Amino acid sequence: MPDSALLVEHITKRFSGHDAVRDLSLSVPRGTVYGLLGPNGAGKTTTIRMVLDILAPDEGRILILGRANTDDAVRQRVGYLPEERGLYKKMQVRRMLRFLAELKGVPGREADRRISRWLERFGLIENGRDWGRARVDELSRGMQQKVQFIGALLHEPELVILDEPFSGLDPINAQALKDTVVDLRREGRTVVFSTHLMDNAERLCDSICIIARGERQLEGELATVKAQHGGRHVALELASGDAARAVAMLHDASVVRTLDDSNRSFELELAPGADPQALLRRILDAGARVERFEMVRPSLHRIFLDVVGATDVEAGMSGHG
């Protein structure tokens, strides 16, 4: 597709007879944020490494910005943050970033200007302290991750690929990365990121692809995906301390098909033929105080569980993408 920043067509990758990725196709529109979603071990990182020509697919082809991903020139237009972080620990931050920029063809003086701008943007120059003059191993883990993120952006890539970018970050540093992803899209760049954290994907992505066991399970614009999986979902919130009063009816399979709960907030899908008003009356009759009862589209987390299966999600928690 001419408007695709990334086009993957029927790629397969085998390791020792095992299909890590099987007949996977996806299309990433230009100027969007695209989520490659799946449990750990689903094949996300293997897919990204094939896109970047770190691994060669056994079958299929990959186009980046309309050209083969094996083209050296097109790879210069891509920025990459790997899942396994790797920085030169004893090197000064500014020198290391300048080295990374020059590898991508950015002249030294221009690289220095961009480095200062990004360090300031990420709060690494503040209150008279320039962390760019420190060694990498003097920085906190969150700072190091921001430095590696900067290294992926210094050459102003058209396509940015982030593998589990929010893993291990505290809320403040995670928000800084999310804000930057939004800004990159606003500038017309394309961002692809892999994650198994659905909240981040739901807030950031225009389109998604869910993969499990190396195969595509679902792909499309997020709004369309949610509309297609609308079903009959209810967002329910009870007054503090009242959840126990509604437990029995919420676990009644004749009324509720699926249930996600978090303390006193619930997302549930009604069983076929169940009447939402009848459920509401039963909850009230049990003495529970209802603060919210609303028919809603399902969350991406709920869709993910429905598509992938809770068993696969749990099995993948100790694996790799």
Q: What percentage of the chain has pLDDT greater than the value 90? A: 69
Average pLDDT value for residue range 139-162: 94
Degrees to nearest 5, angle at CA 196 with 43 and 319: 55
What pLDDT digit, counting tens, does each position of 83-141 carry? 877 788 999 999 999 999 999 999 999 999 999 999 999 999 988 899 999 999 999 88
CA dihedral of 263, 288, 258, 307, whole degrees rounded to 10: -50
Give the pair of three-digit tokens for residue 301.
């987390």
- Indicate the average pLDDT of the chain: 90
- 191 pLDDT band (50/70/90 cuts)? very high
End-to-end alpha carbon distance in the chain: 27
Give the pair of three-digit tokens for residue 76.
């210069």
Burial of residue 128, with CB atoms counted within 10 A of its CB: 0-12 exposed, 13-18 middle, 19 or more buried: exposed
Q: What percentage of the chain has pLDDT greater than the value 70? A: 96
Write down the pLDDT at residue 115.
97
- 319 pLDDT band (50/70/90 cuts)? very low
Average pLDDT value for residue range 278-301: 92
Q: Supply the DSSP symbol for 271.
A: P
Q: Are 205 and 181 a contacting pair, CB within 8 Å?
A: no
286 phi and psi, to 5 degrees?
-75, -5
Distance of alpha carbon 230 from alpha carbon 253, whole angstroms: 19
CA-based nearest residue to 189, from 151, 157, 221, 149: 157
**Token pair 């509720």 in the structure block, residue:** 256
Q: Identify the residue with better confidence: 298 or 84.
A: 298
Write down the pLDDT at residue 287.
92
pLDDT over 80 at 316, yes or no: no
What pLDDT digit, counting tens, does each position of 3-50 carry? 899 999 999 999 998 999 999 999 999 999 999 999 988 999 999 999
Q: Which amino acid is at 256?
A: V
Lowest mean pLDDT among 85-89, 104-108, 142-146, 292-296: 85-89
> Could you give the domains of the chain?
4-77+157-227 (3.40.50.300), 88-151 (no CATH), 231-296 (3.30.70.100)
Write down the pLDDT at residue 317.
44
| SS3 label, residue 296 | strand
Write down the pLDDT at residue 315.
47
Average pLDDT value for residue range 196-203: 91
